[in-house]
């Protein structure tokens, strides 16, 4: 029944995406041209990569509110390295960003498991902590475009694969790897089992501490990937705006995609469709002459609506089980 529900939700997302495209295309025909498709394609990868990490955290019945700050910290440090060490290979900056992200994610996980604190409280604190570190290490100075390597910037422009920008290919590869990991590995199944029933998980031989540390570390590492690709996409890193609000856009996309806030359910395909839907809406609003500030309103409303729907589904399922037991 749950599988059918998820498939139904994914089909509904496809219909919603097509409906948005049809309605906006009818009101503003330029929305249907190739340039708009390119803009949507470039708007999606960063959120999609972050969404894969957030999905794993949510499935394990946690949440990571620090992703935007981790993205900013990884991006600013890599950018400063490119500025201060002009001969530094791009791959070295990429590696540093990912490792920094993983380290900060691991700190989140350690705080959750060692002190038995709710992840929403921990990551709310580290959101502010890591953001403060961004300003401290950068001295509140922007890394300007001339310091970002051309090879890195070109990743957002093209690739040998049909001219598709590398950041799109990287995002697709991350989604595919997440699908394989969650659906076809023992650890992936343990993440779902932990989120479904944290109390019973240890009785089934699941190492709760290890799984919790893993999901937060992966979330941080993927935020680091998004951080280096942010520098590629925008060509600069500003400590005041980089990654600001990123975590809320990611959470909105993930819950729209059908991942339960209460853990234990959700699919990679649904998450990808959720990202595509919100990405399409974010591009459509300016074309329709709607202020970009409404995107934040939309994301907040989506999160609240998803919570209400999730609660309704769970209460309905509980009532069905009670009737079956009777």
Residues 6 or more apart whose CB falls under 8 angstroms from that of 61 comprise 194, 195, 198, 262, 263, 264
> DSSP letter string over 84-96?
H-TT--HHHHHHH
Taking the model in full, what pTM does it have? 0.92
Distance CA 297, CA 274 (A): 17
pLDDT of residue 315: 65
pLDDT of residue 305: 77
Q: Which domains does the chain have, with CATH numbers?
A: 20-315 (1.10.3470)
Distance CA 60, CA 216 (A): 10
Q: What is the mean pLDDT of the segment spanning 129-142?
A: 97
Q: What is the mean pLDDT of the segment spanning 39-52?
A: 95
Distance CA 92, CA 231 (A): 14
Q: How far apart are the first and last CA of the chain?
A: 20
pLDDT of residue 154: 93
Q: Is residue 31 pLDDT above 80, yes or no? A: yes
Residues 6 or more apart whose CB falls under 8 angstroms from that of 177 comprise none
What angle (nearest 5°) sits at the alpha carbon of residue 73, between those of residues 70 and 78?
Answer: 125
pLDDT of residue 2: 46
Percentage of the chain exceeding pLDDT 90: 75
Which has the closest alpha carbon to 71: 205, 202, 203, 250? 250
Distance CA 3, CA 251 (A): 22
pLDDT band at 161 (very low <50, low <70, confident <90, very high): confident
């Amino acid at each position: 029944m749950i599988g059918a529900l998820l498939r139904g939700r994914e089909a509904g997302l496809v219909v919603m995406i097509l409906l948005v495209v049809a309605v906006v295309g009818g009101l503003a025909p330029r929305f249907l041209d190739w340039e708009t498709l390119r803009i949507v394609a470039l708007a999606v990868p960063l959120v999609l990569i972050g969404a894969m990490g957030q999905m794993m955290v949510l499935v394990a019945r946690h949440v990571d509110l620090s992703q935007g700050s981790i993205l900013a910290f990884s991006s600013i440090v890599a950018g400063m390295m490119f500025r201060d060490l002009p001969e530094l290979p791009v791959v070295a900056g990429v590696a540093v960003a990912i490792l920094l992200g993983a380290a900060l994610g691991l700190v989140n996980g350690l705080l959750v498991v060692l002190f038995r604190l709710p992840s929403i409280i921990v990551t709310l604190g580290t959101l502010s902590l890591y953001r403060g570190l961004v300003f401290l290490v950068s001295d509140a100075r922007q890394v300007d475009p001339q310091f970002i390597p051309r090879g890195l910037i070109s990743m957002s422009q093209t690739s040998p694969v049909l001219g598709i920008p590398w950041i799109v290919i990287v995002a697709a590869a991350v989604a595919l790897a997440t699908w394989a990991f969650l659906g076809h590995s023992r650890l992936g199944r343990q993440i779902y089992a932990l989120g479904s029933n944290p109390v019973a998980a240890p009785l089934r031989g699941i190492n709760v501490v290890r799984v919790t540390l893993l999901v937060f570390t992966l979330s941080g590492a993927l935020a680091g990937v998004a951080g280096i690709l942010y520098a590629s996409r925008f060509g600069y890193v500003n400590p005041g705006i980089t990654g600001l609000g990123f975590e809320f856009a990611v959470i909105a996309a993930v819950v729209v995609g059908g991942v339960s806030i209460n853990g234990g359910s959700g699919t990679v395909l649904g998450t990808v469709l959720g990202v595509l839907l919100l990405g399409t809406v974010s591009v459509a609003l300016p074309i329709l002459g709607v202020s970009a500030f409404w995107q934040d309103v939309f994301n907040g409303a989506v999160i609240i609506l998803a919570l209400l729907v999730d609660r309704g589904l769970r209460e309905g399922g509980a009532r069905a089980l009670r009737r079956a037991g009777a």
